[in-house]
Structure 1
Amino acid sequence: MEWAVLVVIGLTAGVVGSLIGLGGGVIVVPALLFFGPSAGLLTGITPQTAVGISLVVMIFTGLSSTLAYMKRKTVDIKSGLIFFAGSGPGTIVGSWVNKSLTLDSFHLFFGFFMIFLSFILMIRNRIKPIERFKRASYQRHFTDPHGTQFQYGFPPVIGVLAAFSVGFASGLFGIGGGSVMVPLMIIAFLFPPHVAVGTSMLMVFLSSLTGSVSHILLGNVNWLYVLALAPGAWFGAKLGAWINNRLQSDRLVLVLRIILILIGIRSIIEGIV
């Protein structure tokens, strides 16, 4: 039974994470904590192991998604590497801070962060792009399959600092960080939406590698659970990338936003009670 649950969790996380550029951790971590300490179906789950397992699984989600988006030429590798210069160290720092969190404090902080992510998803289409970054020193160009040309860019220092914050949250909570990074790339740096998602998944993949190493060294990874989650995450990520190329994801974002709010409220209650 527990293996079937883990496969479904991995598949769901892969589809949702790849479709919107989240990475899938927002599904894996709360699901593990629910079926572990709350429901008692999964044994040995703590905040630290949930985050460690999530980051290792996101390696598969991130790699699968990145390869799929690279085939569609919607991954800005150079920009992704610049972001990783910040997110990589941020993930390591977040992983080490995570070890000091108790179950109650993790629930509390995680709950508030889920509600924050829901708010970001709510306003991401309502904020006007920051045009001044069009004159930034680092500029990129992209032409979509319909021949539409895009120009976008950002100051590398700001990009690295923003990515460090996202990486810190990733290492601390086991999420991919794309829910923050994708709107930032679209709104502040004027990335085309599909390029923002593809580039975000590259950053998720690289950041998950560094974060996973930290959690493996800390002994926070249950490899049997990773083995059950990884296949679903891999194929789910490919399915999510395929859907992303064909459908508008607004409805899924709405559903995800509601789910994040419910998860956040439940997590906060768990942390207080």
Structure 2
Amino acid sequence: MSPAAFALCLGFGVLVGTFSGLLGLGGGVLLVPFLYWLLPQVFDGSADPEVLTVMAHATSLSVIVLASSSGVWAYHRKDAVARPTLLAMGLGAVVGATLGARAATEVPAGALKAGFGVLLVAAGLRLVADRRRRTAAAPPRGGWGLAAAGGAGTGFLAALMGVGGGILAIPFLIYAVRLDLKKVAGTSLGMIAFGATAGTLTYVLSGLGAQGRPAGALGYVFLPATLALAPGAVAAARLGAWLNQRMDVRLLRRVFALVLVVLGLRLAWLNGTALAALF
């Protein structure tokens, strides 16, 4: 990767971290579209486009490992993690993410992009609808089985799409598990760390013998991009959280949600035929 591309990744990592902390938005919904664009530029037609699409999802997930691990430690220090729920969801996420990452290597690139487009639309809608409150107080429910099942489903879809999975995990913890709201964010982030780690390792191992894998890739993970994106994404998340406490972000959330919906619809429209062919 050229110095210019490396510098671009450093800057984009800061942008991802800032918006993640500012809007409560998972970094994957920004990282994957960026990597869809970046990787073909870096390899300039010398790598298989199908492989590059999988690499975009895998590389995004590798950045999320570092970002989520840093974040969950901060929540742990504040005793804002429900450990039994996290353990059950985390184990489920490991299984689900392993299967999801493996499935991504078998799905056509167009179908992956169309599926990611649908995810972007959902993320945009949730961004403007998210209130993170229940209509009435309710006791926690479900045991390890419910939490593990939720973790498995979330882990599968998250690893398949190259995202953390908070868009699914947070509503699940609030409305299905009925977890204490003060521990929802930390527990969700911990589950993401489990799933993203398992998914990344699966992408690495699955891609070691892949045909058309370009130089600089560890399996399906493009390490130079990971190393450039991660520092800014981790550090700037704190800046975003700080800004969130000092700004009225309602208008920004609406504008950003609109961008996600438009981008998602475009990806789904351009690649919808490939997704439909799977069914």
Q: CA deviation at 1:14?
A: 2.6
Question: Quick one: which of 28, 31, 36 aligns to 2:34?
Answer: 31
Question: Quick one: which of 165, 170, 176 aligns to 1:177?
Answer: 165
**Are residues 1:164 and 2:152 paired?**
yes
* 1:145 aligned residue: none
Paired with 1:157 and 1:53, the residues of 2 have a C-alpha distance of 31
Paired with 2:73 and 2:242, the residues of 1 have a C-alpha distance of 12
- Aligned-partner residue type, residue 107 of structure 2: L
Q: CA deviation at 1:192?
A: 4.5
**Are residues 1:220 and 2:220 paired?**
yes
1:59-109 Cα distance to aligned partner (Å, 9 max, x none): 111112112223333222332222112111111110011002222222211
Q: CA deviation at 1:180?
A: 1.6
The 1:265/1:65 distance shift into structure 2, 3 A limit, reads: same
- Aligned-partner residue type, residue 33 of structure 2: P
Paired with 1:78 and 1:28, the residues of 2 have a C-alpha distance of 31
Matches within 5 A, 1:190-269: 190-218=178-206, 219-243=219-243, 250=250, 253-269=253-269
**Are residues 1:112 and 2:118 paired?**
yes
Segment of structure 1 superposing worse, 169-178 or 245-254: 245-254
Q: Which runs of 5+ in 2 are unaligned?
A: 207-218, 274-279
Q: CA deviation at 1:271?
A: 1.2
The 1:5/1:173 distance shift into structure 2, 3 A limit, reads: same
Q: CA deviation at 1:224?
A: 1.1
Segment of structure 1 superposing worse, 260-269 or 71-80: 71-80
Q: CA deviation at 1:177?
A: 0.4
Paired with 2:247 and 2:82, the residues of 1 have a C-alpha distance of 21
Describe the SS at the equivalent of 2:190.
helix
**Are residues 1:70 and 2:76 paired?**
yes
Percent sequence identity is 26
TM-score between both structures, scaled by the size of structure 2: 0.79
TM-score between both structures, scaled by the size of structure 1: 0.80
Paired with 1:250 and 1:36, the residues of 2 have a C-alpha distance of 33
Question: Quick one: which of 58, 61, 68 aligns to 1:55?
Answer: 61
1:149-206 Cα distance to aligned partner (Å, 9 max, x none): xxxxx43322221221110111101100001211222233333444211221111112
Paired with 2:74 and 2:105, the residues of 1 have a C-alpha distance of 34
- What is the RMSD of the two structures over their aligned residues, measured on CA atoms? 2.8
The 1:3/1:230 distance shift into structure 2, 3 A limit, reads: same
- Aligned-partner residue type, residue 189 of structure 2: M
The 1:161/1:16 distance shift into structure 2, 3 A limit, reads: farther
- Aligned-partner residue type, residue 168 of structure 1: F
- Aligned-partner residue type, residue 210 of structure 1: A
What is the aligned residue count? 253
- Say if 1:47 and 1:103, in contact at 8 Å, map to a contact too: yes
Paired with 1:68 and 1:240, the residues of 2 have a C-alpha distance of 15
Paired with 1:54 and 1:42, the residues of 2 have a C-alpha distance of 17
Paired with 1:239 and 1:77, the residues of 2 have a C-alpha distance of 27
Q: Which runs of 5+ in 1 are unaligned?
A: 137-153
* 2:92 aligned residue: 86
The 1:78/1:117 distance shift into structure 2, 3 A limit, reads: same
* 1:147 aligned residue: none
1:95-130 Cα distance to aligned partner (Å, 9 max, x none): 011002222222211111221233334444398457
